Structure 1
Amino acid sequence: MRKLLFLVSLSCILASCSTTTTLYSWDDYVNSSYKYYKKQTPEAAADLMKTYEDIIKNQKGTRKVVPPGICAEYGYFLIQNGKQEEGLAMFTKEKELYPESAVFMDHLIKKFTK
Structure 2
Amino acid sequence: MRRTFVVAAAVCALTACQQRGRSLYAWGSYEDSVWSLTHAEGAADVDAQIDSLTQTVERARQEGRAIPPGMHAHLGLLYSMRGELDTARAAFESERELYPESTTFIDGLIERMGARP
TM-score, normalised to structure 1's length?
0.75
What is residue 49 of structure 1 aligned with on the other side? Answer: 50
What is residue 94 of structure 2 aligned with on the other side? Answer: 93
What is residue 15 of structure 1 aligned with on the other side? Answer: 12
What is residue 28 of structure 2 aligned with on the other side? Answer: 27
Secondary structure at 1:55 match in 2? helix
Across the aligned residues of Structure 1 and Structure 2, the Cα RMSD in angstroms comes to: 2.6
What is residue 42 of structure 2 aligned with on the other side? Answer: 40
Shift of 1:16: 2.4
Distance 1:87 1:100 in 2: 19
Q: What is the CA deviation profile of residues 68-104 of structure 1, one whole-angstrom value per residue up to 9, with x for unaligned ones?
A: 1110011011012110011011111001111111110
Distance 1:104 1:54 in 2: 25
Structure 1 or 2, whichever has the larger Rg, is: 1
Distance 2:11 2:102 in 1: 40
Q: Which amino acid aligns with 2:68?
A: P
Distance 1:108 1:90 in 2: 11
Q: What is the CA deviation profile of residues 30-78 of structure 1, one whole-angstrom value per residue up to 9, with x for unaligned ones?
A: 4455555526358x22211111111111117x86121111100110110
* Cα distance change of structure 1 residues 51 and 102 upon mapping to structure 2, 3 Å threshold: same
Distance 2:24 2:78 in 1: 24
Structure 2 regions of 5+ residues with no counterpart? none
| Count of residue correspondences | 109
Distance 2:100 2:25 in 1: 17
Judge conservation of contact 2:29–2:53 (CA < 8 Å) in 1.
no
Structure 1 regions of 5+ residues with no counterpart? none
TM-score, normalised to structure 2's length?
0.73
Distance 2:3 2:43 in 1: 61
What is residue 67 of structure 2 aligned with on the other side? Answer: 66
